């Protein structure tokens, strides 16, 4: 399960107390059942329409639509990646990967919104196929508009239009058909570290709560389509952390928010300095080391006979 993490979509689907307190909202069984039913239906339809495909990959840089969320880490991942699947000449599906937090939809609106990823996907789907929007090194990045457009009442729609225009300027090329492979690695999470999350007097109780309510293990996984390799991580990965993960796993892109949620994943330097997005990281600097090893294992397991 991979999320686009829009801040204006539905909540109340998670029974875990930690997630409810963290902002997902009070658990409602009907919300969870709706998500399960919709996902199951989509999977059944997908299985019923399986067909051979060829793979195409294209990538561009969109620096004007993404900006860092803080001064401590000024750089962001501005890549827009398109992974297109075709049956003969007909587009069947596409994975689009970008790294900006979708926080453009009006906050006070009571209408559920897919923010710019939803609008972007629906627009590209007019050309055929299903378009899934995935987020890369999203941890320290947010969507932004040109200054003259920043006060637009439909900021998410405008952003989606600009990003779609950028996507249409990327022309994916065929990827050599070298097979399909998937691997996953389970890791034991380090002890929670609340030293950056709450005042000193609350460190102990917060860490105990995280130990009791939070996950104790997690999973990194890898999907390889010929020469294209996607590394999936259950966290909001920042640029410095993502670069190390991509290097360790030899991955084309890191995909955040997959399979679970364990908070943010920043570089050990930011964690030790209490800077960057480490203020939102539930674990200490060893968390990245844990996933770097997992990324390397996903790569080595695919090379084994």
Q: What is the pLDDT of residues 231-284, one digit of tens each?
A: 999 999 999 999 999 999 999 999 999 999 999 999 999 999 999 999 889 898
Q: Is the pLDDT of residue 304 over 60?
A: no
Q: Is the pLDDT of residue 305 over 60?
A: no
Query: What confidence score (pLDDT) does residue 257 get?
Result: 94
Q: Is the pLDDT of residue 16 over 90?
A: no
Query: What confidence score (pLDDT) does residue 45 get?
Result: 93
Nearest to 1 by CA among 31, 42, 45, 56: 42
Nearest to 84 by CA among 178, 171, 199: 171
Q: What 3 state SS string does 23-69 have? A: HHCCCCHHHHHHHHHHHHHHHHHHHHCCCCCEEEEEEEECHHHEEEC
Q: Is the pLDDT of residue 214 over 70?
A: yes
Q: Is the pLDDT of residue 80 over 90?
A: yes
Query: What confidence score (pLDDT) does residue 105 get?
Result: 87
Query: What confidence score (pLDDT) does residue 10 get?
Result: 86
């Amino acid at each position: 399960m991979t999320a686009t993490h829009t801040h204006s979509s539905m909540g109340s689907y998670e029974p875990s107390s930690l997630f409810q307190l963290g902002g997902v909202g009070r658990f409602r069984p009907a919300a969870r059942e709706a998500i399960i039913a919709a996902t199951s239906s989509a999977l059944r339809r997908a299985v019923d329409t399986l067909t051979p495909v060829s793979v195409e990959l294209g990538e561009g840089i969109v620096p004007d639509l993404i900006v860092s969320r803080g001064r401590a880490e000024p750089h962001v991942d501005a890549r827009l990646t398109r992974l297109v699947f075709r049956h003969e000449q007909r587009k069947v599906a596409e994975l689009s990967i970008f790294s900006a937090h979708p926080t453009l939809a009006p906050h006070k609106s009571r209408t559920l919104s897919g923010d710019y990823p939803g609008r972007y996907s629906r627009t590209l789907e007019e050309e055929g196929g299903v378009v899934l929007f995935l987020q890369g090194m999203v941890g320290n990045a947010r969507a932004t508009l040109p200054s003259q457009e920043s006060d637009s009442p439909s900021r998410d729609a405008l952003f989606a239009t600009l990003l779609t225009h950028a996507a249409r300027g990327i022309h994916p090329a065929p990827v050599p058909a070298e097979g399909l492979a998937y691997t996953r690695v389970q890791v034991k999470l380090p002890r929670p570290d609340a030293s950056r999350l709450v005042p000193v007097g609350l460190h102990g109780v917060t860490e105990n709560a995280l130990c009791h309510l939070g996950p104790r293990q997690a999973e990194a996984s890898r999907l390889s389509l010929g020469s294209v390799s996607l590394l999936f991580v259950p966290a909001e990965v920042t640029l410095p952390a993502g670069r190390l993960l991509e290097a360790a796993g030899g991955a084309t892109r890191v995909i955040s928010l997959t399979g679970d949620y364990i908070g943010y994943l920043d570089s050990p330097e930011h964690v030790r300095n209490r800077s960057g997005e480490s203020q939102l990281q539930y674990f200490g600097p060893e968390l990245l080391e844990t996933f770097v090893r997992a990324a390397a294992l996903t790569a080595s397991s695919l090379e084994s006979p």
